[in-house]
């Protein structure tokens, strides 16, 4: 398993993201959930990072869409262009240095396509 234990799940208001967030919270336990327009496909990545900075939780799981999540990842890494290409049901794990997210404070811990996540979850399709 990935060994994740988020303190909060923030999800786009779009239906598929809400469904994913609901399933995630059911599978990982009683995790608070927040809905944010800052995770819609064309949102400015710096805005969701500001929301993350304002939160007291240390481990936050964001459920959103392409290309936004790739842009958020690039912003956290401090690069101008995306270095990930998350597909449906993919996941990127970003560790933030110095405890507060901002431009250039992130480091990629892992990028997992849906097929890898299914295998980790025990689904061998």
CATH code of 104's domain = 3.40.50.1240
Does residue 1 lie in a domain region?
no
Does residue 115 lie in a domain region?
yes
Does residue 68 lie in a domain region?
yes
Instruction: List the alpha helices (DSSP H) in 43-96.
Output: 45-54, 68-77
Structure tokens belonging to residue 102 = 């901002």
- Contact 88/116 with Cβ under 8 angstroms? no
Question: What confidence tens digit (pLDDT) does each residue in 17-46 have?
Answer: 999 999 888 888 889 999 999 999 999 999
Global pTM value: 0.87
Its domain, for residue 55, covers: 8-120
Does residue 2 lie in a domain region?
no
3-state SS assignment for residue 67: coil
Does residue 104 lie in a domain region?
yes
Q: How many CB atoms lie within 10 A of CB 61?
A: 22
**Domain total for the chain?**
1
Angstrom distance (rounded) from CA 28 to CA 25: 5
């Amino acid at each position: 398993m990935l060994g994740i234990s988020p303190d909060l799940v923030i999800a786009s208001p779009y239906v598929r993201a809400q469904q994913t967030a609901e399933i995630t919270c059911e599978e990982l336990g009683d995790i608070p959930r927040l809905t944010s327009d800052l995770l819609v496909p064309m949102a400015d990545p710096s805005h969701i990072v500001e929301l993350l900075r304002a939160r007291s939780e240390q481990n936050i799981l964001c459920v959103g869409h392409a290309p936004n999540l790739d842009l958020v990842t690039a912003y956290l890494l401090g690069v101008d262009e995306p270095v990930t290409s998350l597909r449906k049901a993919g996941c990127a794990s970003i560790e933030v240095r110095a405890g507060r997210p901002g431009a250039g404070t992130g480091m990629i811990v892992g990028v997992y396509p849906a097929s890898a996540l299914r295998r980790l979850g025990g689904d061998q399709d």
